[in-house]
Chain A
Amino acid sequence: MEDVKKIMHVMRRAPHGSIYTYEGLEMILIMAAYEQDLSVAFIGDGVYALKEDQDTAGIGIKGFAKTFKALDMYDVEKLYVDRESLEERGLTEDDLLVDVEVLTSEEIGKLMNEQDVVVPH
Chain B
Amino acid sequence: MNIGILLKEGPYNHQASDTAYKFAEAAIKKGHKVDAVFLYNDGVTNVTKHMDPPQDDRDIAKRWNELGEKHGVEVLACIAASKRRGISDDVIIEKGEITGLGTLTDIAIRNDRLVTFGD
Do A and B originate from a single complex? yes
Interface residues on A, range: 10 to 19
Q: Which of A28-36, A79-87, A98-106 contacts B (4 or more CB under 8 A)?
A: A28-36
When distances are taken between beta carbons in the complex, the residues of chain A under 8 Å from B116 are: 118-120
Interface residues on B, range: 10 to 19
When distances are taken between beta carbons in the complex, the residues of chain A under 8 Å from B80 are: 23, 26
Are B41 and A30 neighbours in the complex by a CB distance under 8 Å? no
Are B109 and A3 neighbours in the complex by a CB distance under 8 Å? yes
Q: Closest A-chain residue to B108, C-beta based?
A: A117
B92 within 8 A of A: no
Which of the residues B41, B81, B109 comes within 8 Å of A36, measured between beta carbons?
Answer: B109
Are A26 and B108 neighbours in the complex by a CB distance under 8 Å? no
Are A30 and B100 neighbours in the complex by a CB distance under 8 Å? yes
When distances are taken between beta carbons in the complex, the residues of chain A under 8 Å from B27 are: none
Are B40 and A30 neighbours in the complex by a CB distance under 8 Å? no
How distant is B8 from chain A, measured CB to nearest CB, in Å? 8
How distant is B106 from chain A, measured CB to nearest CB, in Å? 8
- A residues apposed to B, CB below 8 Å: 3, 5, 7, 19-20, 23, 26-27, 30-31, 33-34, 36, 117-120
How distant is B101 from chain A, measured CB to nearest CB, in Å? 4
Are A27 and B102 neighbours in the complex by a CB distance under 8 Å? no
When distances are taken between beta carbons in the complex, the residues of chain B under 8 Å from A31 are: 101, 104-105, 108
Are B108 and A5 neighbours in the complex by a CB distance under 8 Å? yes
Are A117 and B114 neighbours in the complex by a CB distance under 8 Å? yes
Are A23 and B105 neighbours in the complex by a CB distance under 8 Å? no
When distances are taken between beta carbons in the complex, the residues of chain B under 8 Å from A119 are: 6, 108, 114, 116
